[in-house]
Structure 1
Amino acid sequence: MGAGQVEIGLVVNGRTERLLVDSRVTLLDALRERLALTGTKKGCDRGQCGACTVHVDGRRVLSCLTLVASAAGRRVGTVEGLADGDRLHPVQQAFLDCDAFQCGFCTSGQIMSAVALLQEGRTGSDDEIREQMSGNICRCGAYENIVAAVRTARRGGAAR
């Protein structure tokens, strides 16, 4: 190991991964560059847009602000881990059904946030959905369709 290098183990989408990385590498960069999981997007790289949202131990985090070393020994979930083979996660399906995206750049972060807030039970009203999703920016302005998708997934029992 070189200076500043750390060896870490983490579970990504149910699979154990071992990485030797510089201690300053973010979870976002490790996912994209080391594990080729490119569904998580690098938007602002400042924690302001939510495009990089993933789950760590079931909680949503901004992977651009999270050092991969801090995820050692933890469970990380990305958008690639939601589907069950060819069967989309109910939130992914709802996003398709409700046309809740335009350019698609923010979609993976939006979906990961939606899955988490459904699991947290924070989808009682459209206003609550908007508030809970407010950390995810959609430059195209598909917000009403995103709220509709979360509402649709909630009605379909997507909190799995």
Structure 2
Amino acid sequence: MKPSTSNKTEKIQLKIESFCAYQERCKKEVINKLKSWGLEKKTIDEIVLNLLNQDYLNEIRYSKSYSRGKFRIKKWGRLKIYQELRKRNISEPNIKIGLEEIEEDYYLTCKELVKKIWKSSNSKSLIEKKKKIWDYLRYRGWEKSLIFDMIEKVEKKASDL
């Protein structure tokens, strides 16, 4: 005897709920997961709507969590976090809310990264040191003007010693 469609959908619903409960997920991740299970669009839409109604999916919560995690653990800057959230189809206002989560420690973290790279750089040349810092921070999505300011401050402090 073949299991009924509603019974199968309920099992999938429970499975995707535990997937969402494990860590914050965005709508795009959930849809991709459901597609990988071979579900039809109608079923996917129904399940996603249930997840939204039950607050398993929440763009603001996801944006905040993602921003905090990538900033704290990977030391990403605003630009990279912004790009990654856009890839996940998070709306502009929700991205802005997420980026506000990292505002407090943002400048201090940038300064600490610049100091760390400055001290660890084996380069004798000032230009090479600056380039190494520039490349490292730009790759991680930090703003140009902020990088320049922090390099200038750290360089000035180093020359005063």
TM-score (norm 2): 0.32
Higher Cα Rg: structure 1 or 2? 2
